[in-house]
Amino acid sequence: MAATRTDLANAIRALAMDAVQKANSGHPGAPMGMAEIGLALWGNNMRFNPQNPAWANRDRFVQSNGHGSMLQYALLHLTGYDVSMDDIKNFRQFHSKTPGHPEVHYTPGVETTTGPLGQGITNAVGFALAEKLLAAQFNKPGLDIVDHHTYVFLGDGCLMEGISHEACSLAGTWGLNKLIAFWDDNGISIDGHVEGWFTDDTPKRFESYGWHVIAGVDGHDVDALNAAIAAAKAQTSKPTLICCKTIIGKGSPNKAASHDCHGAPLGEAEIAATREAIGWPHAPFEIPADVYAGWDKKAAGAAAEAEWNSLFAKYAAQYPAEAAEFTRRMKGELPANWQDLVKTAVAEVNAKAETIATRKASQNAIQAFAPNLPEMLGGSADLTGSNLTNWKGSSSLKVENGQISGNHISYGVREFGMSHIMNGLVLHGGFRPFGGTFLMFCEYALNALRMAALMKTNNIFVYTHDSIGLGEDGPTHQPVEQLQTLRCIPNMNVWRPADTVESVVAWADAIEQRTTPSSLIFSRQNLTFQTRTEEQIANIKRGAYVLRDAAQPQVVLIATGSEVDVAVKAAEALAADGVAARVVSMPSTNVFDKQDAAYKASVLPAGVPRLAVEAATTDFWRKYVGLEGDVVGIDTFGESAPAPLLFKHFGFTAENVAARAKALVK
């Protein structure tokens, strides 16, 4: 006899409470309360193939309330993904496939890493935007090779986080009709009943964003949920929020509808009582065969993918160039002529020898690469004219009559939302997004940058106005500690180029990355072009190199960005005084740190005193100069004044650097 809907939903409840209990850690309440929502979506409406989690046209699923991860793990296990019962038993254990919060690349079927609330729904906006743009770029009449939905589970916490406003507002503006979110309206957060701190009229809030809102759905009524999903899919111009009234921890006789089941195991006695209350007589981690059969989606998933493969074969026969391009982009591969493009761009920039702001040099690099990389999707958080993230031939993203077009996004003043939407775009596949703001305002987005590095995405964050060099706007806009903060994020490459050549090399390196995001840091003010040999140009990509040398150097000057020219001039002054100085340009400390010991020693020889020069806080540089070295930097906040006056005031002059270097030599 086939398993009932009640049995199918209760399998989720049982796995959630058993796994959390065994781990003695976790959140059973959300999975138990959302079991029927999971059944309606994964059991009846979502299109996926458990045997190929990377199928290009699968529906995307994001559990934004990632603390309830056992809901997703239970769904993956039951529907047939490579998530075994042993994996369920190892919930939250060392190197398991089932970590405390869902992590992309760890668990088959997990599309993005969630946990920090509000960020999953924001990633999902990126997924849905990618689908809509790819469909516009590749679909042909009768051959819709890009046609899938993005589904999101989210809770009160996601809605309280400000990033949800940033992202959901844009989703409405962009008309992302294939984005469908399920709000788990259970009225509980860790501190208890939310009416003391969350009284928003959520349906009206989302209606004001331009969403289609389906309010008042019983989150435990599968038929009602199926009807809501059908209505959401029928919507052709708006994203949909399905408001699901649920009971957190449903089935638990004594802890349901309270925060007692939110973030702690139910306890053995309560689990036994729950088993009896829901009619689940099975032992821990035991799932009956009929329940497995009721959940199994391997055959249906394989059939859905086979149907799409047939469609794609027809597409490829009629449009072979487009099919090849779609395949390349979804694989994240660069075009075959990529290295030739880089060589040409570097040679042209070197020949021009321009003294310009590196933000302009950045735009020139984008101009060199973007026309040859249609996957590049630029943007800025309301600062396009300052960040210079647009290029000749770029067009602003716009939606007209339900049709979307463009390759440059005006995100508005939404640095955090922009950065996490970019993460979603990368994770979906088909795009290499980059987005800009002032370096100071990376502070709004740091958690998104950290998540990009953790998830091994390869998107590109563009930051301009990189120091006191922006001048009169004053200390509120002058970054001092931000460079060091970014450099301390594991798996983040940070580049601060000194001129046009270093800028184009930094861009090329960022584009070539497959599993590492990059932060590219550029100046507002003009920076002097530095002459180099071919060998020096080749070594830029190693993160640091000898820009100016002297026979038997007595001191090494290390500098980045705008301070490189100061170091060069200081070396010239030192030479005039009989002191031999080597100048090392270090545009990327992170990349330099990955080089072999022999190369690092050739750049920074042992036994020679070192002086670092950078318009930023100084402690970071101790790892390079040692206790016996020195740093010319800024350990206070800036001031409001013209940039030249500020650089002189804070000691970024050739005279001061030379004097500090002489002191080291003595």
Question: CA–CA separation, 62 vs 119, rounded Å?
Answer: 10
Residue 256's nearest CA partner among 13, 11, 12 is: 13
Residue 524 annotated as lining a ligand binding site = yes
Our CA angle for 21, 23, 26, nearest 5°, is 75
Write out the DSSP string of 521-589.
E--SSEE------HHHHHHHTTS-EEEE--SS-SEEEEE-TTHHHHHHHHHHHHHHTT--EEEEE-S-H
Q: Which of 339, 55, 266, 491 is nearest to 258 (CA)?
A: 266
Residue with tokens 């009846």: 44
Q: Which residues are catalytic?
A: 415
User: Residue 126 annotated as binding?
Assistant: no
394 labelled ligand-binding: no
Q: Each residue of 472-484: b (16+ CB within 10 Å) or e?
A: eeeeebbbbebbb
Q: Is 67 assigned a ligand-binding role in the annotation?
A: yes
Consult the annotation and say whether 279 binds a ligand: no
Phi (first) and psi of residue 568, to 5 degrees: -65, -45
3-class DSSP state of 62? strand
Does 532 count as an annotated binding residue?
no
441 labeled part of a ligand binding site: yes
220 is in an annotated binding site: no
Closest to 502 (Cα-Cα) out of 562, 440, 581: 562
Q: Which helix (H) or strand (E) holds 405?
A: strand 403-405
3 state DSSP class of 153: strand
188 is in an annotated binding site: yes
638 is in an annotated binding site: no
Please give the single-letter amino acid code of residue 658: A
**Contact status, residue 293 vs residue 2, Cβ threshold 8 Å:** yes
12 a known binding residue? no
Kindly report the three-state secondary structure assignment for every residue of 421-463: HHHHHHHHCCCEEEEEEEHHHHHHHHHHHHHHHHHCCCCEEEE
Rounded-to-integer distance, Cα 429 and Cα 406, Å: 17
Residue 476 DSSP label: T
Distance CA(567)–CA(561), nearest Å, equals: 11
Encoded amino acid at 244, one letter? C
Check the annotation: does 432 bind a ligand: no
* Helix (H) / strand (E) containing 234: helix 222-234
H/E element holding 397?
none
404 is in an annotated binding site: no
From residue 463, give the alpha-carbon distance in Å to each of 68, 69, 383, 425, 467. Answer: 35, 34, 11, 19, 11
Q: Was 359 annotated as part of a binding site?
A: yes
Q: Is 466 annotated as a binding residue?
A: no
What span, in angstroms and rounded, lies between the C-alpha atoms of 189 and 207?
A: 24
Q: Tell whether residue 447 is among the known ligand binding residues.
A: no
Question: Is 39 annotated for ligand binding?
Answer: no
Binding residues are 27, 67, 115-117, 156-157, 186, 188, 262, 359, 386, 441, 465, 473, 477, 524
